[in-house]
Structure 1
Amino acid sequence: MKNFMDDKDFLLSTATGEKLFHDYAQDMPIVDYHCHISPQEIWENKSFKSITEVWLGGDHYKWRLMRANGVDERYITGDADDREKFQKWAETLGRCVGNPVFEWSHLELKRFFGYEGVLNGKTAQEVWDLANAKLATPEFSCRELIRRSNVRMICTTDDPADSFEWHQKIAADDTFDVKVVPAMRPDAALRIERGQEFADYMKKLSGVAELPVTNYAELKAAIAKRYDFVATLGCVASDHALDYVMYAPATEAEVEAIFQKGLAAEPLTDHEVLQYKTAFMQFLASEYVRLGWAMQLHFGCKRDNNKPMFAKLGPDTGYDCISNYTPADQLADFLGSIQEKSGLPKTILYSLNPSDNWMIDTVMACFQEAPVAGKMQNGSAWWFNDNETGMRDQMTALANEGVLGNFVGMLTDSRSFLSYPRHEYFRRVLCGLLGEWVEAGKYPADFELLGEIVKDISYNNAVRYFNMPLEQA
């Protein structure tokens, strides 16, 4: 029997996997090229009043589990005090056998707080005392948590109409040597179906860009101006949250007419919405080619399904699920249309539906081209797939249909400053999988080449792919 989460062999079933992880992956730096942490909190070097604040605040992974364990919402997003909420979480976690959040949570307790035990209802008090005592020290501010995790660069997720004041302040601060740059998520300019919300956003964008936005051409000009500005702040990527990758072509006149209806907050047909989104995404892709940025497309999610709770708590609170409507034909046609119009930018595709892995790998193979190795990427197993099973499935499909050695690897996609051990988790899964293939005779035990592949997937590929101003490791 193996020891619980033993540092030597956790997720590593072979001697080859252990060697790959400990000799090549373990000490590699981290580039977190997609996350949702706050640049303001980094600038302010926020400290946390309790383990509940840093661990449970905004973490809908944990909230979903607590609800599934019958915990009253008062102890999840309600007005219970931090100690009560932590107790309910500890009692829930103890029952989550086989859930990746159980493993992530204990990795975080080990790596940040030195806790080698098991968190459950009985041990909640000792963990509460240990974690809070450490969080009260300067060594546990958010900047120090980032430094201690060996992070070299962070790409936050930002709207083109944001002020970016915090990124500018961080960049000017010589006391913090981790690069923090924006990544563009112009979803608000895409969601024309939201009526007055969309119309109000156009006014906001116009004000920030200091350009009129009264027609579609002016919208494109305003977006291009904001993109040029964030390029000066080191932006290397965009990110888009789509229900699915759509393709509904339209003439310029049709797009203009649809946009005018959006500005007036008038009702639109479903087809008109898809036509606008297709045209706008095609324009954005051409901007990414111009700027040399990577385009990330997240899709396959059905959001906000519990309408009463959405009305009470808003989005990103744990009421989303996998969608099985991810049409391959439209994805392929969308990418093909961009290739014809402007050429494709570097593109990373993430589907929340794990059954899409093989589809994605075959679609993207149609658009691979020099000089970028792995120009088209099947993104790291995302959200509900962010676990050993999902990671193995995603990498196995990629290995079968493409070149696994060019994979850009892991990202946190997190709002938590304690989430960096997810990179360790991913690297253990990667090395475990490669080790099994080697020991099954499917790949030679050439550790010079294998070690290079592991180091590249862990860090170097992302540095190259995103043209990050970092040294290879």
Structure 2
Amino acid sequence: MMEKTFIHKDFLLQNSFAEELYHNYAKDLPIIDYHCHLSPEDIATNRIFNTITEAWIHGDHYKWRAMRTVGISEQYITGNASDEEKFQAWSKTVPQTIRNPLYHWTHLELARYFDEFDLLNGKNAQTIYRSTSERLRSNDFSCRSLLSKMKVEVVCTTEDPTDSLEYHQKMAKENSGLLMGTSFRPDKALLIGSGDFNSYIDDLAKVADMDISTYDDLCEALAKRIAYFDANGCTLSDHGLENIPFEEASPTEIANIFAKKRSGKQLDGKEIKQFKTALLLFLSEMYNDYGWVQQFHLGPLRNNNTRMLKILGPDTGWDSIGDFSQARNLSRFLDALDSKNKLTKTILYNSNPADNEVFAAMVGNFNDGSIKGKVQYGSGWWFLDQKDGITKQLNALSNVGFISCFVGMLTDSRSFLSFPRHEYFRRVLCNLFGEEIQNGELPNDMELIGKTIRDICYFNAKEYFDFKKYK
């Protein structure tokens, strides 16, 4: 009997119930990827990659971090080595990623896009580099083709308020079968303590075609950009923060804080929190008025290595899990919106597993019966989007909330080869339910359990997000 390859049809599925759930209920569903960092230009122009390194390693700080850990020189990561040399360096790294999610993702991605089932290592790197790169240079492996292979129905990129959305407009004019949305991410307008804040506000002023000299001007400019994004089909916002601030202040105090910053003066910690709180509440009320979904990615400790930050810049692999206090301010923030009936559909993501139950319990405080799963505990994210992290998120949500209302997985990725992460999630999900059926903790009722699986993988998200604007 032929030995199974590492990636086989029942990968991660530990019993017959899990296999039935995955193959009969989850496997063939389309993908709604409601948050990622793919390039909208690459999608709109249907970019064709020259090499597997371009598609798979450039910009992937997960892989960069792994290569540094095993002693690979920066020359072969972000430096001037050739694409083939960088792929060779990554291939030598892969065997050392054993038990890290990169080991699973790497081999799933090679299998699903290229029908390559050999374990990647330094010995076969050249052969795999040349065969995959050759295939990528064909129209059958263009960016949109890669998405189509994974049955991606909707993909939502992430844009700053200053973005023109020209590539989203281009896609909207086509009848490609792929809906490309955007998430409005105004974090730079919140970071009043940053040395770049004033220059960013000047850029925002140009795009909004108005002067921004007061706090009211700032709110007006952001309101104009929200209206612009909405007119171009946007239905989501996103914020990436350490935690939710909540430091109250009067309108006069906020106006003075903004004026102080615009005049070049330094702000203290309390003033920064007061400004962030006021502006975040203003933005969230706007999202509610437009009927958007707001997302909050909370908890990472960013840019820990100042030496490498100066050399390479942000988002290059120097971030980690933070241990910020989350519950009290998050509760006060959501309650301030809910008290005014201005709390829109909300998804909360955490990056610290110690906060799993905190977040899962928090969402229940503000589910008021108006919408199924109005406030969501989002999927395992960043350091938690592996088998253990996904399982813990699913268990926390099940234990103190309702997994049946969950809108499921997203890639949060910059790579066009990352969409097997949805398959990975679905396999973990089906195995979790399958094990509990086998143990007698859930009924052997495939109509009930199968529907729950299908809802989590696709139908809850389809109902929750208003993507009709993109049609």
The TM-score, its normalising length taken from structure 1, stands at: 0.97
Q: Cα distance 1:230–1:470, how it changes in 2: closer, same or farther (>3 A)?
A: closer
Tell me the distance in 2 between the aligned counterparts of 1:324 and 1:423: 28
Matched to 1:147, the amino acid is: S
Please tell me whether the aligned partners of residues 198 and 265 of structure 1 are also in contact (alpha carbons under 8 angstroms): no
Tell me the distance in 2 between the aligned counterparts of 1:8 and 1:83: 31
- 1:460 corresponding residue in structure 2: 459
2:31 equivalent to 1:30: yes
Please tell me whether the aligned partners of residues 193 and 272 of structure 2 are also in contact (alpha carbons under 8 angstroms): yes
Matched to 2:316, the amino acid is: T
Matched to 1:183, the amino acid is: S
Tell me the distance in 1 between the aligned counterparts of 2:119 and 2:468: 40
- Point out the more displaced range, 5-14 or 316-325: 5-14
Quote how far apart the aligned CAs of 1:133 are.
Answer: 1.5
- 1:162 corresponding residue in structure 2: 163
Tell me the distance in 1 between the aligned counterparts of 2:469 and 2:113: 25
Tell me the distance in 2 between the aligned counterparts of 1:50 and 1:24: 35
Runs (5+) with no aligned partner, structure 2:
none
Tell me the distance in 1 between the aligned counterparts of 2:144 and 2:394: 32
- 1:86 corresponding residue in structure 2: 87
- 1:183 corresponding residue in structure 2: 183
- 2:273 corresponding residue in structure 1: 274
Tell me the distance in 2 between the aligned counterparts of 1:414 and 1:84: 24
Tell me the distance in 2 between the aligned counterparts of 1:453 and 1:326: 33
Q: How big is each residue's C-alpha offset from its partner over 1:168-197, in whole Å with a ceiling of 9 and x where there is no partner?
A: 1111123x22011111000111110013x1
Please tell me whether the aligned partners of residues 289 and 342 of structure 2 are also in contact (alpha carbons under 8 angstroms): no
The TM-score, its normalising length taken from structure 2, stands at: 0.97
1:172-321 matched pairs, under 5 angstroms: 172-174=173-175, 176-195=176-195, 197-321=196-320
Quote how far apart the aligned CAs of 1:452 are.
Answer: 1.1
Question: In structure 2, the residue corresponding to 1:240 is in which secondary structure?
Answer: strand
- 1:152 corresponding residue in structure 2: 153
Tell me the distance in 2 between the aligned counterparts of 1:247 and 1:158: 25
Q: Cα distance 1:226–1:199, how it changes in 2: closer, same or farther (>3 A)?
A: same
Matched to 2:66, the amino acid is: L
Aligned positions, number = 469
Q: How big is each residue's C-alpha offset from its partner over 1:21-70, in whole Å with a ceiling of 9 and x where there is no partner?
A: 00010000011100000111111111111111111000000001000000
Quote how far apart the aligned CAs of 1:2 are.
Answer: 8.5
Question: In structure 1, the residue corresponding to 2:184 is in which secondary structure?
Answer: coil
Question: In structure 2, the residue corresponding to 1:154 is in which secondary structure?
Answer: strand
Tell me the distance in 1 between the aligned counterparts of 2:124 and 2:325: 44
Please tell me whether the aligned partners of residues 390 and 425 of structure 2 are also in contact (alpha carbons under 8 angstroms): yes
Q: Cα distance 1:359–1:187, how it changes in 2: closer, same or farther (>3 A)?
A: same
- 2:13 corresponding residue in structure 1: 12
Please tell me whether the aligned partners of residues 337 and 343 of structure 2 are also in contact (alpha carbons under 8 angstroms): yes
Q: How big is each residue's C-alpha offset from its partner over 1:60-109, in whole Å with a ceiling of 9 and x where there is no partner?
A: 00001000000011000001111111111000001111111111111110
Question: In structure 1, the residue corresponding to 2:119 is in which secondary structure?
Answer: coil
Matched to 1:5, the amino acid is: F
Quote how far apart the aligned CAs of 1:156 are.
Answer: 0.6
Q: How much is the aligned-residue C-alpha RMSD, in angstroms? A: 1.5
Question: In structure 1, the residue corresponding to 2:448 is in which secondary structure?
Answer: helix
Matched to 1:125, the amino acid is: Q
Please tell me whether the aligned partners of residues 245 and 326 of structure 1 are also in contact (alpha carbons under 8 angstroms): no
Please tell me whether the aligned partners of residues 7 and 107 of structure 2 are also in contact (alpha carbons under 8 angstroms): no
Q: How big is each residue's C-alpha offset from its partner over 1:146-173, in whole Å with a ceiling of 9 and x where there is no partner?
A: 1111111111100111111111111112
- 1:105 corresponding residue in structure 2: 106
Quote how far apart the aligned CAs of 1:373 are.
Answer: 1.1
Identity of aligned residues (%): 45
- 1:337 corresponding residue in structure 2: 336
Point out 4+ residue stretches in structure 1 off by more than 6 angstroms: none
Q: How big is each residue's C-alpha offset from its partner over 1:410-448, in whole Å with a ceiling of 9 and x where there is no partner?
A: 000001111110000000000010111111111111111
Please tell me whether the aligned partners of residues 408 and 462 of structure 1 are also in contact (alpha carbons under 8 angstroms): yes
Tell me the distance in 2 between the aligned counterparts of 1:169 and 1:79: 34
Question: In structure 2, the residue corresponding to 1:157 is in which secondary structure?
Answer: strand
Matched to 1:288, the amino acid is: Y
